[in-house]
A = this chain, B = another copy of it.
Amino acid sequence: MAYPDDLVELVDGFLEELRFGEAPSVSPLLEAMRYSLLGGGKRIRPVLLLAAAQAYGVDPAAALPTAAALEMIHTYSLIHDDLPAFDDDVLRRGQPTCHVKFGEAVAILAGDALFAEAFRLICERQEAEPAVTLAVVQEISEATGVKGMVGGQYLDVSGLVTGEAQLKLLHRLKTGRLIAACVNSGGLLAGVSASELEVLAGFAAELGLLFQIKDDILDVVGDTEVLGKQAGADARLKRSTYVSVYGLKTAQELARRSLSRALAALDGIQGRMGTLAGITNYIYERQR
């Protein structure tokens, strides 16, 4: 149950070939978008979508437009999150962050453009019944709005999050919801039934939680060089995390339990879930 590097290669190849516009006038904007998008990494979100679709018999290549769109949306969120008004990070995946390299205005626009182009990519190139594609767009727009990613980013900078319930909400919104949308979109593209989708969504939500607990742990125990971004940022920014609220040892125990629940959820799903299990294990064991 190793991490599916073949799916990473598929995603990287597709992202590499994306062209968002021909106009030479905007090439510095395109350069900033590609700079942040092609920074490498494990491509967890698009790989999750491909693995979920594949689990129900869909050829991963057929789901690449939506997979790539999810990586574009993730990249957009990182660019905005790194801005001086937010985390003020200078390093991302071992490279200068987008605003450090291209300036703040271009970085904001590169994020905005990646978000718009993600939806365009799905509409233009994802082959599926219109009703299916529309359901995918709806799922992703909900996962990236007030009830998802942006709502979570707001909670993160608000300084209002104290206590366990609020912390759980923050993490579910900021990271968990988009992770879940990747899995759910894979199911939608595979045309699974509403009841199957519900079971899949249960796994997806647990996976999102696991991902975030692990992220909080890595920010404390991780190495800046291995992470490719500044470790210790949460403490510097006085953010509420699983480690700051529960302590490192309990956070590690919570991650372990979350892993068990996620794998148990997978056991209850029809389909070839081996690859999803491999990704789940990777998310638990990853060092960055």
Contact = CB atoms under 8 A, between A and B. Distances in A.
B108 A146 contact: no
B23 A169 contact: yes
B145 A120 contact: yes
Interface string A123-137: 110000111011101
A107 to B, nearest CB: 8
Contacts of A238: none
B117 A145 contact: yes
Contacts of A223: none
B106 A119 contact: no
A194 interface: no
Contacts of A105: 85-86, 157
A146 B20 contact: yes
A29 B145 contact: no
A109 B154 contact: yes
B160 A138 contact: no
Number of contact residues on A: which range applies? 35 or more
> How would you classify the secondary structure of chain A's contact residues: helix, strand, loop or mixed?
helix
Contact of A115 (B83, B109, B112, B131): B112
A141 interface: yes
Given A134-B134, A138-B124, A155-B26, A145 B108 contact: no
Interface string A151-176: 10111011011000010010000000
Contact of A119 (B119, B154, B158): B119
A80 B113 contact: no
A116 interface: yes
B141 A119 contact: yes
Contacts of A138: 120, 123-124
Contacts of A62: none
B25 A146 contact: no
A234 interface: no
A147 interface: yes
Interface string A2-27: 00000000000000000011010110
23 contacts: A20-B146, A20-B147, A23-B169, A25-B155, A26-B154, A80-B108, A83-B108, A85-B104, A86-B105, A106-B154, A109-B150, A112-B112, A113-B146, A113-B151, A113-B154, A116-B148, A116-B150, A119-B141, A120-B141, A120-B142, A124-B138, A130-B131, A134-B137
